[in-house]
Amino acid sequence: MAEETKPAAKKKEKPPALEDKPFTEFMEQHFTPKLQEAFTKAGLEDMQIAFAKQPFVLAGFDSQEECWQIEGKWQQGTRQFNLYYFDEDIKGKKGFSSSTHGAKPSTLESFMIDERKITLDLMVLYTLQRINGDKWLGRN
């Protein structure tokens, strides 16, 4: 009597990770809304977040070079931060700057440079941590 062989069970293919989506789609549909939600939960009700490709602005540095940026403004625009994505890739080179009272940022900091795996939740967490580093999320 011949043994019946069962076909090998097919593995379900995992859907691609959110972070593997095209850069602008990921930023517009996932990161920006989740970041807005996180700021609201942290008590920054008037946070305005924009995602756009715009000139890189830094005090003392004149350039028309553009890069993708997340710009956050709150307290009637008196506080602002920018996340810069120089490579149009969430895993690429990133920078951070902040300023107050409408001034141009004067310092550019590297952002998330040591992370091997970049996830949506980590991006939100690091952004909140960096803003809180300036004690802008509340009293510490």
- 12 belongs to a structural domain: no
13-17, 20-24, 89-93, 115-119: lowest mean pLDDT where? Answer: 13-17
Q: One-letter amino acid identity for 71?
A: E
pLDDT at res. 140: 46
For residues 92 and 113, what is the distance between their CA atoms, to the nearest angstrom?
9
For residues 99-110, give the mean pLDDT: 82
Q: One-letter amino acid identity for 45?
A: E
- More confident position, 82 or 4: 82
**If DSSP codes are grouped into helix, strand and coil, which group holds residue 117?**
coil
The torsion defined by the Cα of 56, 103, 133 and 64, in degrees rounded to 10, comes to 0
54-99 tens-digit pLDDT: 988 776 676 778 899 999 998 888 889 999 999 999 999 999 998 8
Q: How many structural domains does the chain have?
A: 1
Q: Which two tokens stand for residue 86?
A: 């120089």
41-45, 65-69, 102-106: lowest mean pLDDT where? Answer: 102-106
Domain residue limits at 76? 21-54+65-133
Share of the chain above pLDDT 90, in %: 46
For residues 140 and 29, what is the distance between their CA atoms, to the nearest angstrom?
32
Positive or negative CA dihedral for 59, 64, 67, 71?
positive
pLDDT averaged over every residue in the chain: 85
- 16 belongs to a structural domain: no
- 139 belongs to a structural domain: no
In the predicted structure, residue 34 carries a pLDDT above the cut 80: yes
pTM for this model (two decimals): 0.81
- 102 belongs to a structural domain: yes
- 11 belongs to a structural domain: no
Q: One-letter amino acid identity for 79?
A: R
